[in-house]
Amino acid sequence: MKKLGFINKIIFLVNNAFAILLLLSLFIAYIRPSNFSFAPIIGLTIPMVILINVFFVIYWVLIGFRKQFLLSTIVLLLSLFFSTPIYKFSNKRDNIRQNEIKIMSYNVRKFNSRRWIADDSIPNKISSFIHDKNPDIVVLQEFEPTDNFSLEYPYKYNPSANKLSMSGLAIYSNYPIINQGKVDISKHPNRVIFADILINTDTLRIFNFHFQSLGLIPGKEFLGQKNSDGLIRRLRSAFTEQEKQLFNYRSQPSSQNKKIILAGDLNNTSFSWVYKNLKSNLQDSFIKAGKEFGKTYEFKGFPLRIDFVLVDQKLDILHHKNYDV
């Protein structure tokens, strides 16, 4: 059996560090941010840590060190069984059913009103995109009124549609909205709204949520840079606030045995405590029927999944698709 040279010994030492980090990350979803606020920050790095361990497996196999490749392989197998997947190789697609409904969740980022993109036609492009995909129900986050955006739906609910709101929410539906309401979950502008939608003879309660933003600025700041101390403070504060928001949401009256769907922007990953507790016994549409990374946000070129559609166990998930828009 080959012996490790000096360089490979260093590489194996680094391999050990990332394998241990991935192993420890399996417990992050069980740690409340108020007890250890660094836990969810580590959680943001888990997809990258997984891919690094995959690289180590490939590296040791290619250079013929079979014993060393077992370290990351074993840890990756553990993460496969005890954590949520970061990648799906194939997506489920059942035959179209007569009572199938399509739901779209979209964070419209205030229709680019702060001009993050040098394009004045963003509102028109978003409305055209939604019209082209033709979902039965649309839930929008960071919604605010604009003259250049319109959807032709007979029913809608948007109680927080004003330019002072940081996280305006809206629900559009082809089916009658027979009841509606909002849940103020925070002193911040974040909130949850819901609509009871009558579909044939059944009532479906749709929740649209937007939890505390992390304040990440792609291309301008990252962990390890000179301004990372301020970034870490903001992240710790945001994760603790998300915990409070979750408790406030769950303290509301129950949905009275209605079938429910939660859709929106969690601003956290599927490895987090807040995701685990929000999801509870619901189905994650990406895990059930998604494909590839399921990216909803890209930071430093790395795909993150921070937006979710969580579905009642009494409902069947036929398909899940992410759009690169």
Q: Does residue 133 lie within any of the structural domains?
A: yes
Q: Hey, what are 234's tokens?
A: 């903001």
pLDDT at 111: 86
Residue 286: CB atoms within 10 Å: 26
Cα gap 188→267, rounded to integer Å: 14
- Asked whether residue 110 falls in the same domain as residue 39, the answer is no
- Locate 65 and state its tokens: 């060190």
Residue 38 φ then ψ, to 5°: -80, -20
Based on the fold, state whether residues 37 and 125 are members of the same structural domain: no
Tell whether 322 is covered by a domain.
no
The pair of structure tokens assigned to 96 is 């179209």
Sort 269 into a burial class: Cβ within 10 Å, 0-12 / 13-18 / 19+. Answer: buried
The Cα–Cα gap between 71 and 144 comes to 50
The pLDDT profile of the chain, 325 residues, written as one tens digit per residue, is: 467 889 999 999 999 999 999 999 999 999 999 999 888 888 888 989 999 999 999 999 998 877 888 999 999 999 988 889 988 887 666 666 678 999 999 999 888 877 778 788 899 999 999 999 999 999 999 998 888 898 999 999 988 655 554 458 999 999 999 999 988 888 777 889 999 999 988 999 999 999 998 876 555 555 555 566 777 888 899 999 999 999 999 888 777 778 999 999 999 999 999 999 999 999 999 999 999 999 998 877 778 899 999 999 999 999 999 998 8
82, 113, 130: which is the final residue of a domain?
82
Are residues 228 and 118 part of one domain? yes
Domain total of the chain: 2
Do the beta carbons of residue 110 and residue 58 sit within 8 Å? no
> What's the pLDDT score for residue 116?
76
Query: Are residues 119 and 220 located together in one domain of the fold?
Result: yes
23 in a structural domain? yes
CATH of the domain at 285: 3.60.10.10
- Distances in Å between the Cα of 87 and the Cα atoms of 14, 47, 163, 316 are 24, 9, 37, 21
Quote the pTM value: 0.89
Question: What pLDDT was estimated at residue 181?
Answer: 92
End-to-end Cα separation, the chain, in angstroms: 51
The pLDDT tens digits for 96-144 are: 667 899 999 999 988 887 777 878 889 999 999 999 999 999 999 999 8
Judge if 29 and 140 occupy the same domain.
no
d(CA 109, CA 167): 9
What confidence score (pLDDT) does residue 59 get? 94
Residue 153 sits in the same domain as residue 237: yes
Maximum CA extent, the chain = 71
In a domain, 78, yes or no: yes
Residues 76 and 115 in one domain: no
Indicate whether 164 and 240 sit together in one domain.
Answer: yes
Same domain, 154 and 234: yes
Query: Is 58 found in the same domain as 128?
Result: no
Which of 31, 50, 82 is the C-terminal boundary of a domain? Answer: 82
In the beta sheet, which residues pair with residue 202? 199
Q: Which domain holds residue 47?
A: 6-82
With CA atoms as reference, report the closest residue to 143 among 131, 129, 126: 126
Q: Answer whether 274's CB lies under 8 Å from 247's CB.
A: no
Q: Does residue 248 fall inside a structural domain?
A: yes
**What confidence score (pLDDT) does residue 13 get?**
95
Residue 92 lies in a domain: no
Identify the pLDDT of residue 27.
94
